[in-house]
Amino acid sequence: MPKKVLIPTKLDAVARETLEANGGYSVFQDESVDLLELAKDHADAHAIIVRSEKVTSEVIDAFPALKVVVRAGAGYNTIDTDYARQKGIDVMNTPGANSNAVAEEVIALMMAHARHLIPADKSCREGQWEKSVFMGSEITGKTLGILGLGHIGQLLVKRASGFDMKVIAFDPIVSSDRAKDMGVEMVADFKEIFKRADYISLHIPENDRTRGMINAELFGLMKEGAVLINCARAGVVNEDDLRAAKAAKKIGFLNDVYPKDEAGDKPVADIADIMLPHLGASTREANFNAAKYAADQLIALDERGIGTAIVNRDMPAGLDPAYYELAFALTKFCREGFSSNAQLKLVETTVYGGLQKFAEWLVVPIVAALDRDFSRSLDHKGAEAHLSSMGVDYTCRDADEDKGYGNSITIDLTVHGADQTLHKASVRGTVTEGNLMISRINDFDRLYVAPEGHIACFIYEDRPGVLAEISAQLASAGINIDDVRNPHSDCGRRSLALLKVNQAVPAAVIASIRDKIHANVAFHVAL
Read off the CATH number of the domain in which 499 is found.
3.30.70.260
pLDDT of residue 470: 96
Backbone angles phi, psi at 26, to 5 degrees: -115, 130
Tell me, yes or no, whether 310 lies in a domain: no
pLDDT of residue 361: 84
- Judge whether 269 and 275 are in contact, CB under 8 Å: yes
Q: Could you tell me if 192 and 327 lie in one domain?
A: no
pLDDT of residue 314: 65
Whichever domain contains 349, its CATH number is 3.30.1330.90
Axis crossing angle, helix 284-304 with helix 14-22, rounded to the nearest 10: 30
Q: Could you tell me if 135 and 166 lie in one domain?
A: yes
Q: Could you tell me if 135 and 173 lie in one domain?
A: yes
Axis crossing angle, helix 359-370 with helix 380-389, rounded to the nearest 10: 40
- Residue 387's identity, in one-letter code, is L
Q: Could you tell me if 132 and 264 lie in one domain?
A: yes
- Judge whether 519 and 465 are in contact, CB under 8 Å: no
Q: CB-based contacts of 292: which residues, under 8 Å, 6+ apart? A: 12, 14, 15, 18
Q: Which residues of the chain have pLDDT under 50?
A: none
Whole-angstrom distance, CA of residue 301 vs CA of residue 330: 31
Q: Could you tell me if 116 and 190 lie in one domain?
A: yes
Tell me, yes or no, whether 309 lies in a domain: no
Number of domains, the chain: 4
Tell me, yes or no, whether 145 lies in a domain: yes
Tell me, yes or no, whether 379 lies in a domain: yes
Q: Could you tell me if 405 and 419 lie in one domain?
A: yes
- Considering the entire predicted model, what is its pTM? 0.69
Q: Could you tell me if 320 and 416 lie in one domain?
A: yes
pLDDT of residue 419: 61
Tell me, yes or no, whether 280 lies in a domain: no
pLDDT of residue 458: 94
With b for 16 or more beta-carbon neighbours within 10 A and e for fewer, the 281-313 pattern comes to: bebeebbbbbbbbbbbbbbebbeeeebbbbbbb
- Judge whether 109 and 232 are in contact, CB under 8 Å: no
Residue among 6, 12, 19 at smallest CA distance from 48: 6
Q: Could you tell me if 445 and 493 lie in one domain?
A: no
pLDDT, tens digit, for every residue of 155-188?
A: 999 999 999 999 999 987 787 778 888 999 999 8
Per the structure, the complete domain to which residue 33 belongs is given by 3-97+285-304
Tell me, yes or no, whether 465 lies in a domain: yes
pLDDT of residue 218: 96
Q: Could you tell me if 108 and 222 lie in one domain?
A: yes
